[in-house]
Structure 1
């Protein structure tokens, strides 16, 4: 069969029509396969021809983008592009400006300053080599580079490395300006502040057409957020996705969004190089949930995103795994001599409980206490945001943690956060900061296997050890905060004595 024929291909068993197209030889290294296949999701021949023409045009555009050379942007271009970051921060914190705790202006003003600064006028004391710069400044710079890469992917712009760095610097300046403005507002100075409704998102962004009637996407998103009360991070991330889709469509009318529109958006995201799982979970899922809220509340007649899917293939080379005994020993050995209280205790608590690092990062002194005479720590929603309802739980402390002197450390702390050295992130959570700090530290130890998540791999390891040493499965789930799998699991209680008995079956890592 000639795969290059420009007509739909009918599956011999299902009768569903497909687009099948041979990948040009020059693009095979970039695409990673010999053939492009996409289901048209119809058995009607005339409808298949119409959808095939659309899908083929999208495919040809994607290939054209892959052949296009990287672009160069100026500092002025970068400044124009990052206005959305400044305005988004102001928009997000406009009601309570003191809630912005992610970007500290005293640290932020030093980001990207070097012996050869981009502009004149930097105090000599603010200039250092890359090796001497403080860890906090390096973290800010890394975050800005990540945001630059994500923004370029969102708007489909391929640039050279120097341009990417210009954009990262511009983002740092934008966040610095917004942090200073919010600080002034928090202190009562609201002069000159206006909330920008239509925020620019790219160099050549067209004005977004407002809906004549009916709700806008952002109005649906705000209604969804008000009812669902998501975490600040989820709300910020999902509203950002709505902004991206609005700019892509060129209008904000939720009722005008069609399946074809969302398929074009999906194709554009794929062309940007985003992983299928990222598109499914971080792009399509938020839009689907927000549109469904609109349907459920009488604002829309249907949800076009229900019929938009993307195949996600599990890659064995990328599957997460737990730390081996040797890796666990290496990390805990290094942690035991760390100057940071957080780095000293957080890996150990995760190693012997399977807790998420974000949960450990936000522990307070009052969260460590005795239950039925057994030393435990509480993972409580009062301390910070949790993943779900099952995450709130009590976890007995392993004897290895007790022998290391954890209770003495707790007693030495003042009331409040155990790890006060961790500053809240932009959403007010110490968990986000702790995750970044520990992840960098683990990678600096030389543990660079991509299948390892520097923080979450403790959780995988605990599950593996539970199977290896015969821990009761339902009790392991209670310890780690995983949902109860069966109806039987929902009957009865989980005594702390039983949880402690199971945890003690986990052997101590030989240090």
Structure 2
């Protein structure tokens, strides 16, 4: 509600300080929310609200530490950081709230103020007490603020002394108010500038569900034409991050959290995987959340992992001799029967091993783009046969369809007859549900790659699913082909803004495809 005061609740004309108890603390607190009565007068309620909220937050902090002690949540030092003046003001407010509680109990007599104690507090504020006397005076209170996460100062440090002096100021001011109240004066205000001018701590941001944020991010990416798998490939990233954090609140994620997560990932994963998959996904998630006002900042923007430059010992694609050897084995492939004479491979697998390598050799396509081909993706235009690589059949990296002319040697090998004899639907996998075509095609891609490696046809450091793409690009450069046409044939994104103007036609693509020499497979 616009204009509402945070943590102030009005119920039937009476005001309360109210804090919602986080779900994981409700078992310890025993409630879903905490309330503290502030009376029927709004002005008085507003005056007493900070002190009441401080008491309630202290109760939640203690419950959080109890949960941490049980091993259910890691302790996070400095979870609720406060400046020294804020600590002084909070201590002052808590002491006055405690004074109110005591005055409501008729059994409690009026408090007698120790003059020596007051003198020690003034010496502490002036900075004339040594660490030992300062610790004896307010050390317990300073430790309590550290315990509930308001600071991380080490005992005896300059920061610790500053906080101790601030607590002493709050204590002395509270004692002064208590003495005034004993005389019936409840109008006193703190005189020490550290307390009088203290700014209230910024309200903790409302929790932002990390899992919901992730789902909304995935939905936005899918709607924009990305992540056609619905984010399944990236799901382990979110699960790994949540497991490391120990909570599901994206608003609590810090750069330090992400750096620690990165370092843990590097124990079992390569720098490339951590950088290109895990950190890349998280940077994109938090960038989207920040740009769409779901989070006030982006803690992942500068969380990166350097990758060692890959050392190449040879060309990335197949050489002429290697290409010929692969195509010969593919051309003559026949499945082996087991000891009972049964063929375990499906006809689709046999067809993939027969046709996928040669189609990749003359198209430069990704193997998975060929394993997902359907009968309806192969057509004839005039005397030219064409295959259409389309997201309707599975996954296309750049998102758009593209037509690729079929090389004459593929036709001569009998591919057209194979397509004509096939049933409608996928040519190289057994999927029947279009929603699962992509996964089926990837599985067949892996099957073909493993078969080539097991047959000793893939040299070390060569990736079987990319070797044909590298070779195609190399051949095109050797022929002096227009690289924009080659990119359009292979499905590579344009390199400059001018590449988006005009169309790369089948005629232009066919000129490149037809220039590729036949392979001698005899």
Aligned to 1:56: none
Partner of residue 307 from structure 1, selected from 296, 302, 308:
302
Map 1:461-480 to 2 at 5 A.
461-480=471-490
Q: Distance in 2 between matches of 1:282 and 1:319?
A: 26
Query: Is 1:440 the counterpart of 2:435 in the alignment?
Result: no
Aligned to 2:513: 503
Q: Which runs of 5+ in 1 are unaligned?
A: 1-210
Cα-to-partner distance string for 1:282-322 (whole Å, 9 max, x where unaligned)? 11111111112221222201111101111112121478700
Which is higher, the Rg of structure 1 or of structure 2? 2
Q: Assess, with a 3 A threshold, how the Cα gap between structure 1 residues 424 and 467 changes in structure 2: closer, same or farther.
A: farther
Q: Assess, with a 3 A threshold, how the Cα gap between structure 1 residues 444 and 415 changes in structure 2: closer, same or farther.
A: same
Q: Distance in 2 between matches of 1:291 and 1:320?
A: 38
> What secondary structure, in the 3-state scheme, does the structure 2 residue paired with 1:307 have?
coil
Q: TM-score, normalised by structure 2?
A: 0.54
Q: Distance in 2 between matches of 1:388 and 1:319?
A: 28
Q: Distance in 2 between matches of 1:220 and 1:475?
A: 40
Q: Distance in 1 between matches of 2:426 and 2:279?
A: 37
> What secondary structure, in the 3-state scheme, does the structure 2 residue paired with 1:280 have?
helix
Q: Which has the higher contact order (CA 8 A, sep 6+)?
A: 1
Aligned to 1:401: 410
Aligned to 1:485: 495
Q: TM-score, normalised by structure 1?
A: 0.56
Q: Distance in 2 between matches of 1:374 and 1:361?
A: 22
Q: Distance in 2 between matches of 1:460 and 1:380?
A: 21
Preserved CA contact (<8 Å) 1:376 1:394: yes
Aligned to 1:228: 221
Name the count of aligned residue pairs.
Answer: 299
Aligned to 2:258: 262
In the TM superposition, residue 448 of structure 1 has moved relative to its aligned partner by 4.4
Aligned to 1:282: 277
Preserved CA contact (<8 Å) 1:352 1:398: yes
In the TM superposition, residue 270 of structure 1 has moved relative to its aligned partner by 1.6
Q: Assess, with a 3 A threshold, how the Cα gap between structure 1 residues 497 and 426 changes in structure 2: closer, same or farther.
A: closer
Moved more, 404-413 or 466-475: 466-475
In the TM superposition, residue 431 of structure 1 has moved relative to its aligned partner by 2.0
In the TM superposition, residue 491 of structure 1 has moved relative to its aligned partner by 2.3
Question: Considering only aligned residues, what root-mean-square deviation do their CA atoms show, in Å?
Answer: 2.2
Aligned to 1:243: 239
> What secondary structure, in the 3-state scheme, does the structure 1 residue paired with 2:231 have?
helix
Aligned to 1:345: 355
> What secondary structure, in the 3-state scheme, does the structure 2 residue paired with 1:305 have?
coil
Q: Assess, with a 3 A threshold, how the Cα gap between structure 1 residues 382 and 422 changes in structure 2: closer, same or farther.
A: closer
Query: Is 1:216 the counterpart of 2:200 in the alignment?
Result: no
Partner of residue 365 from structure 1, selected from 357, 365, 375:
375
Q: Distance in 1 between matches of 2:384 and 2:358?
A: 18
In the TM superposition, residue 370 of structure 1 has moved relative to its aligned partner by 2.0
Preserved CA contact (<8 Å) 1:349 1:401: yes
In the TM superposition, residue 449 of structure 1 has moved relative to its aligned partner by 2.9
Query: Is 1:412 the counterpart of 2:421 in the alignment?
Result: yes
Moved more, 240-249 or 292-301: 292-301
> What secondary structure, in the 3-state scheme, does the structure 2 residue paired with 1:394 have?
strand
In the TM superposition, residue 330 of structure 1 has moved relative to its aligned partner by 1.0
In the TM superposition, residue 476 of structure 1 has moved relative to its aligned partner by 0.6
> What secondary structure, in the 3-state scheme, does the structure 2 residue paired with 1:270 have?
helix
> What secondary structure, in the 3-state scheme, does the structure 1 residue paired with 2:387 have?
strand
